[in-house]
Amino acid sequence: MSNQRLKSPKVAFISSFVPRQCGIATFTSDLIAHTAKASSGELAAEVIAMEAADHFSYGDEVKLTIRRDQKRDYLLTAADHINYSGVNLVSLQHEYGLFGGKAGSYICELLENLSVPVVTTFHTVLEKPDTPYHDALIRIADVSSKVVVMSLRGMSMLREIYGVPADKIEMIPHGIPDLPFEDPGPYQRGLGFADQKLILTFGLIGRNKGIEWAIRSLPEVVKREPSILYVVLGATHPEVKRNDGEEYRISLQGLVHDLGLERHVVFINRFVTDDELHRFLNAANYYLTPYLHKEQLTSGTLAFAVGMGKAVISTPYWHAEELLDGGRGILVPFRDHEAIVAALIGLIDDPAACNAMRGRAFEFGRTMTWTRTGEAYWQLYRRLAVPAAPAAALDMEATPRKRVTVKELPELRLDHFLRMSDDTGIFQHARHTIPDRVHGYCTDDNSRALEVMVRCHHQHQDQESLKLMEIYFAFLLHARKPDGGFHNFMSYERCFLAPVQSDDATARAICALGALIAYSPRPSLAKLAQEALLHAITGADDFSLRGRAYEIFGLADYLKGSPDDVSMRREMGKAADCLMQAYRQCATSDWPWFEDRLTYDNAVLPHALFIASKTLRSKAYRETAIDACRFLIEATFTGGHFSFVGCHGWYPKGGEKAHFDQQPIEAASTVRMLREAFAATGDASFVRLMRKAFYWFFGDNDAGVALFDFRSQGCHDGLNPGGVNLNQGAESLTSYMLAYLSIEEEQNTVPAVKAAKS
């Protein structure tokens, strides 16, 4: 990969995320906040959130969700999003149980399909893993540029058990709040616990926490210090609650009752905010983690307690051994309530020793504040981040070596078509991703949508596209006028609006009807489409140049099934001659074009002549198409990416090109034109340019931002100087899909370009 340093790297965090109640979710939220702060606003962070059984209402930072047990979410949706949306680096928060597949192997397959560096934080490293877990960790480490652990023991385990090279491993502590060393008294009074000594255990509750051993120690401790109150703060772990309900908590409450400790134990059964946790930690005299198993490499709650200078008693799990070394706390054996009794009474009886231990813990905590942790991660991210894949996806000088494959393309999904459509048709506009019913429907967009579904069903044979195809076709049949033309605009109340007829809408309808004739899933649909097309052609003399181009597209598809229809071949010739006449009247040596300015949907004009030259075997059409195509490329390709003509001023002959707003329809028509240019010439440079035009949708553009939205599966309406138009209407959606299908359709005939080597 390139070593180029990016000013504002875009990092995708794969993790569970708030409001999900789990330690990894909270850690990731804190990590993003403090890394962003360390970056002074340079970090662009987004989250790909892991979900299990529950679904959450996330904030705007969550761009995608992955269902834990749905493999396609990993391999298609998430991998596509990362590879195509301008991400420069992935930060994976790894914990067993968070990911699907055997030993969480689905995440391995996602990572192995990425084109950007990966930094993996291992929250757990198993000392004696079963083979699938051993192999999964090695696969993740192999594909990661760096792996992070939070303890020295974790570093040695990765080296000795898993063979991870030492130079690939980073040790960055679990961040903690940078809070002052406080006297518990005022905080105890604020929480209603005045004149008591508080023992605190915090975290999501489950049987592995060993809380029963702490409770069993209390009768002897209470005899020595009657003011003792043990606070168990935290909700039952959601997975535990889902499987076993509150069985464990109820058993603990029963133990409290049996031991007569009702006045000395309080259960606070809820997930607390950071501010609440800080108040309870400040109020605690002693912090207790009686966990049952040593194989815990990281404990955020223990790190918080040490960092805030609490008097900590813990069983000797791995993280506790490291954090409490050097007299920063007391370690007691697993499942030994008598040892807990001795430790607590020792601290109660010797306040000076207790305070000295607290001081050592607090001082050590200054080395692992979130400020330091955020800075360490920021430096790591900044060092490893590389330019996003779309901007470097093609070697423009390379010789094609392989064919386009579906795997190279994002997954094809119709989510936004379904969202934007009802039983009448597809809505014209959207407010962000929500259909805007105020503007109703139009024939232009339903024609484009019909062509999309015809080609989609032809290539995928899916039921969703067939259903939508029939809806859009029904709209066109309803929009027909007695003279063969088509109404264009329809209100949400299903009333056609002025103007009564649009010639360009009729031409686009002819294009879509031709596709349905050529690729219809049922003969009856093709027959209806043919009837409508032949009737509509009677008004073609009034079409604009672009209308003539769309007419050519429709006729070319029609003639695939009726190649001997002399009248329709003659009609295509008339349409092509209209384009040729416009070209001869306007073109000059420095402006070989059909009009005196480049405006909207420009590439359809040479594209149509390429189609006409192939169908009618005309060398003149072909040569004009090539000249116009090369001129359009020169006007819109910067040498690195496409910069299409903006609609705010266009590009007049002899004038300056408007750069914004660039429209998705330009990218789509350019992709399709370049495909036909390659078919006509065999020149592989057109294939490379075709791919570059497609990557415009994914950030290979003037603003460096993606227009395709992997979360909604829609496409933003335009490219502005500051980013994208947030609306995702029908024209942009159908434009993206037609470009996609054009590339996919040629997978067996058009060679792809070799990806640039990292």
Q: Could you give the CA distance from residue 585 to residue 703 in angstroms, rounded to a whole number?
A: 36
Give the model's confidence band at 2: pLDDT under 50 very low, under 70 low, under 90 confident, else very high. very low
Give the model's confidence band at 153: pLDDT under 50 very low, under 70 low, under 90 confident, else very high. very high
- Examine the pLDDT at 52 and tell me if it is beyond 90: no
- Examine the pLDDT at 556 and tell me if it is beyond 60: yes
3-state SS class at 562: coil
The predicted pLDDT at position 355 comes to 94
Please count the CA atoms within 13 angstroms of the CA of 485 that sit on its side-chain side: 16
Cα–Cα distances (Å) from 574 to 551, 552, 580, 622, 646, in that order, read 10, 10, 10, 16, 31
The predicted pLDDT at position 402 comes to 33
The predicted pLDDT at position 1 comes to 39
Q: What is the pLDDT of residues 370-387, one digit of tens each?
A: 999 999 999 999 999 988
Locate the DSSP E strands across 55-117: 62-67, 89-94
The reply to whether omega before 482 is within 30° of 0 (cis) is no
Tell me whether residue 569 is exposed, middle or buried, using C-beta atoms within 10 angstroms of its C-beta: 0 to 12, 13 to 18, 19 or more.
middle
How far, in whole angstroms, is CA 576 from its chain's centroid?
43
Helix or strand (DSSP H, E) at 444: helix 443-460
Q: Mean pLDDT, to the nearest integer, of 418-432?
A: 97
Cα–Cα distances (Å) from 345 to 84, 142, 158, 230, 288, in that order, read 60, 49, 39, 14, 13
Q: What is the pLDDT of residues 321-360, one digit of tens each?
A: 999 999 999 999 999 999 999 999 999 999 999 999 999 9
Listing DSSP states for 612-639 in one string gives HHHHHT-HHHHHHHHHHHHHHHHHHB-S
| Sign of torsion over alpha carbons 118, 121, 124, 127 | positive
Structure tokens at 418: 């379904």
Higher pLDDT, 190 or 443: 443
The predicted pLDDT at position 392 comes to 37
Give the model's confidence band at 236: pLDDT under 50 very low, under 70 low, under 90 confident, else very high. confident
Q: Mean pLDDT, to the nearest integer, of 202-206?
A: 87
Range in 115-124, 187-196, 333-342 with the lowest mean pLDDT: 187-196
Structure tokens at 202: 């915090």
Cα–Cα distances (Å) from 232 to 206, 270, 323, 333, 521, in that order, read 12, 10, 22, 20, 64
Beta partners for residue 314, in sequence order:
289, 331
The predicted pLDDT at position 278 comes to 85
Main-chain dihedrals φ then ψ at residue 641, nearest 5 degrees: -155, 170
- Write down the mean pLDDT value for the chain: 90
3-state SS class at 129: coil
Range in 72-81, 136-145, 396-405, 413-422 with the lowest mean pLDDT: 396-405
What residues does each domain of the chain span? 10-175+374-384, 184-366, 394-420+587-758, 437-563
Range in 102-111, 352-361, 389-398 with the lowest mean pLDDT: 389-398
- Work out the number of other CB atoms within 10 angstroms of the CB of residue 747: 16
Fold match between domain 10-175+374-384 and domain 394-420+587-758: no
Q: What percent of the chain has pLDDT over 90?
A: 74
Give the model's confidence band at 4: pLDDT under 50 very low, under 70 low, under 90 confident, else very high. low
Contact status, residue 381 vs residue 11, Cβ threshold 8 Å: yes
Give the model's confidence band at 223: pLDDT under 50 very low, under 70 low, under 90 confident, else very high. very high
Alpha helices in 23-151 (DSSP H): 23-38, 71-72, 79-84, 106-111, 131-143
Contact status, residue 705 vs residue 86, Cβ threshold 8 Å: yes
Q: What is the pLDDT of residues 506-554, one digit of tens each?
A: 999 999 999 999 999 999 999 999 999 999 999 999 999 999 999 999 9
- Examine the pLDDT at 5 and tell me if it is beyond 80: no
The reply to whether omega before 19 is within 30° of 0 (cis) is yes
- Examine the pLDDT at 389 and tell me if it is beyond 80: no
- Examine the pLDDT at 301 and tell me if it is beyond 90: no
Range in 21-25, 52-56, 134-138, 355-359 with the lowest mean pLDDT: 52-56
3-state SS class at 675: helix
Give the model's confidence band at 457: pLDDT under 50 very low, under 70 low, under 90 confident, else very high. very high
CATH 3.20.20.70 given to domain 10-175+374-384: no
The CATH class for the domain spanning 394-420+587-758 reads mainly alpha
For the domain bounded by 184-366, which CATH number is listed? 3.40.50.2000
How far, in whole angstroms, is CA 142 from its chain's centroid?
23
Q: Mean pLDDT, to the nearest integer, of 91-100?
A: 94
The predicted pLDDT at position 501 comes to 62
The predicted pLDDT at position 577 comes to 98
| Sign of torsion over alpha carbons 423, 427, 430, 436 | negative
